Amino acid sequence: MTNESKDRSLLLVDGMALLFRAFFATSVSGQFMINSKGIPTNGVHGFVKHFLTAISTFKPSHVAVCWDMGSKTFRNEMFTEYKANRSDAPVELIPQFDLVKEVVSAFDIPNIGLEGYEADDCIGTIAKASMNDFEVSILTGDRDILQLLDERIKVILLQKGFGNYAVHTPDSFYTDKGILPRQIIDVKALMGDPSDNYPGVKGIGEKTALKLVQQFEHVEGIISNLQLLTKAQKTKIEQDLDMLYLSRKLAEIKCDVPISFSHEESVFQFNQEKVLTKFKEVEFRGLDRLLPDQQILA
């Protein structure tokens, strides 16, 4: 590792996590911030506020924002019920999907996404490919991304409000959960994930899943030692073996997605006039004071 790489930090932003969080924080009280063109902007406004607050807090030299590209991914091909419990996006949010990417582009940083994959997969791919040359941070509200934690990858989880974060490292995660970050995948294989709508092993919850993974390390270790489990645990796993293996595949973030990404294009060095012009066009007020006083150079 060179001295130069120590000074280079890459912030990967989970765009959908920030946008949805911002939208629902204000839409619950009907504050959609509809501008003179009739376009709601509450989600984008909150996204920018989260984004700029994180920039000023963590001061990355490079930034990229990753997005889901449609609702269907390779996981739906493996399991048709994957995320089938999700309701359609509210009508006020739909025009903000394109608008938020326009605002990100005004900062001259890349919007990244690939049809058939989730933002998490793009984030995982870039993070793993960049960790030898950069200190990588992932900004999200989604705990699933904690499986990507590594010595050079930390996860910044948004907390309530703006500027409140829980910053996770492999050590802090182990202290908290008693497992390694990668073992999240095995825990979710057992317990499933109601928010993503896959069941895991019927009748096994988080407490039992954690205990089994702590004891046997991974799904394969559990299967190899079924005779050591309680009769009830053994029966449940044997009856749901196919779903156990499938759930593990669904839970794992892919880190080899065929995306093109340039570190040069992700240098955080924006043109203030260009950004302010975009803010004026969208009719944002009060966000200009959050812009960094000077551009952060690589």
Per-residue confidence in pLDDT tens, the chain, 298 aa: 333 445 799 999 999 999 999 999 999 888 999 999 999 999 999 999 999 999 999 999 999 999 999 889 999 999 999 999 998 899 999 999 999 999 999 999 999 999 999 999 999 999 999 999 999 999 999 999 999 999 999 999 999 999 999 999 999 999 999 999 999 999 999 999 999 999 999 999 999 999 999 999 999 999 999 999 999 999 999 999 999 999 999 999 999 999 999 999 999 999 999 999 999 999 999 999 999 875 444 3
Q: In the beta sheet, which residues pair with residue 155?
A: 138, 168
Q: In the beta sheet, which residues pair with residue 166?
A: 157
CA–CA distances in Å: residue 195 to residues 46, 68, 142, 143 = 23, 16, 11, 12
Q: Where are the beta strands (DSSP E) in the chain?
A: 9-14, 62-66, 111-112, 135-140, 153-158, 165-168
Using CA atoms of 176, 198, 21, 163 in order, give the dihedral in degrees to the nearest 10. Answer: 10
CA–CA distances in Å: residue 244 to residues 183, 204, 226, 249, 283 = 14, 11, 14, 9, 49
Tokens 């150079």 sit on residue? 297
Q: What domains does the chain contain, in order, with CATH numbers?
A: 3-177+254-290 (3.40.50.1010), 181-251 (1.10.150.20)
DSSP string for 56-71: HHH--SEEEEE---SS
Q: What pTM does this model have?
A: 0.94
The amino acid at residue 71 is S
Q: Is 136 helix (H, G, I), strand (E, B) or coil?
A: strand
Nearest to 248 by CA among 179, 184, 189, 197: 189
Burial class (CB in 10 A: 0-12, 13-18, 19+), 74: middle
> For residues 87 and 265, what is the distance between their CA atoms, to the nearest angstrom?
35
Sign of CA dihedral 53, 56, 59, 61: positive
Identify the DSSP state of 149. -
